[in-house]
Amino acid sequence: MEEADIERLKAIAKDIRKDILIMLNKATSGHTGGSLSVVEILVALFFSKMRHDPNNVHYRERDRFVLSKGHAAPALYAVLSRCGYFDRKELFELRKLGSHLQGHPDSKFTPGVEVPTGSLGQGLSMANGIALALRLDKIPSRVYVLLGDGEVQEGQVWEAAMTAAHYKIDNLCAILDNNGLQIDGWVKDVMNIEPLGKKWEAFGWEVLEIDGHDFNQILDALDKAEKIKGRPTIIIAHTIKGKGVSFFENQVKYHGIAPNDIELEKALKELDSN
């Protein structure tokens, strides 16, 4: 991409991070670290790669996105709002009674959400089903599913991985937010998932590894994945939990804690200064 395009995506990512922090602060609950770690991935998908139309949410040829790590819903909501699926002011009703924005994504309530998620381990199975249905209907759309690294400790993920390889679901691209932390600590200490790339390769997947905060690498990997035929692709995106705010980065306590007023003010100033 042209440098101007990358700079545009970076500017969007900064605004998305601000909205995430403000909405979490107003809700006084939610997941800070894992929402901030996926920002570049979501921005690259929704503002550059995917075919979608907020004015025609259910058009058949759209690409589909599944947020398997549903606790990162604030990041998805901020992106959907910026795309025009709903008004930005709705972001600040997150988790409130009667809001369209639940603590985890729900397709009954929120325009742009394909399936309800939040019970970890299930998103890849749903993405498999969507991708197979598209293939049966001869619709040339792609399905993207975003997983968490702690999430792949779930056995259902590996059943779904076998299924995708067995049925050669090549219109499916999984992206793994590999930020190294989960609610109880470092992933390697809770339940080690390494060697991650070799495991997915052994399950029959094409594996690409990237810096999950580098737009050039993200978009290049997404382009490569689209050209791979006969097998599904996973992009292992090495990320930083709490990315963008120094005192949130790599801090497990912010997995499921919203910033307070003082932290919010400090974080917004830091984002503006960067």
Q: Please enumerate in sequence order all residues whose Cβ is within 8 A of that of 10, keeping only pairs 6 or more positions apart, or say none.
A: 215
Q: Report which of 273, 260, 239 is spatially closest to residue 36, judged by C-alpha positions.
A: 239
Q: What is the pLDDT of residues 70-110, one digit of tens each?
A: 999 999 999 999 999 999 999 999 999 999 999 999 999 99
Q: What is the pLDDT of residues 4-31, one digit of tens each?
A: 999 999 999 999 999 999 999 999 999 9
Residue 38 tokens, joined: 């996926």
Domains of the chain: which residue ranges?
A: 3-273
Say if residue 14 is exposed, middle or buried (CB neighbours under 10 Å; 0-12, 13-18, 19+). Answer: middle
Q: What single-letter DSSP state applies at residue 47?
A: I
pTM assigned to the model: 0.98
Question: 3-class DSSP state for residue 36?
Answer: helix
Which residue has tokens 């400790």? 153
105 vs 118: CA distance, rounded Å? 7
Q: What is the pLDDT of residues 203-250, one digit of tens each?
A: 999 999 999 999 999 999 999 999 999 999 999 999 999 999 999 999
Phi, psi dihedrals of residue 220, rounded to the nearest 5°? -65, -45
pLDDT of residue 191: 98
- The reply to whether CATH 3.40.50.300 applies to domain 3-273 is no
134 vs 143: CA distance, rounded Å? 9
Q: Please enumerate in sequence order all residues whose Cβ is within 8 A of that of 26, keeping only pairs 6 or more positions apart, or say none.
A: 92, 94
Residue 143 tokens, joined: 């399905």
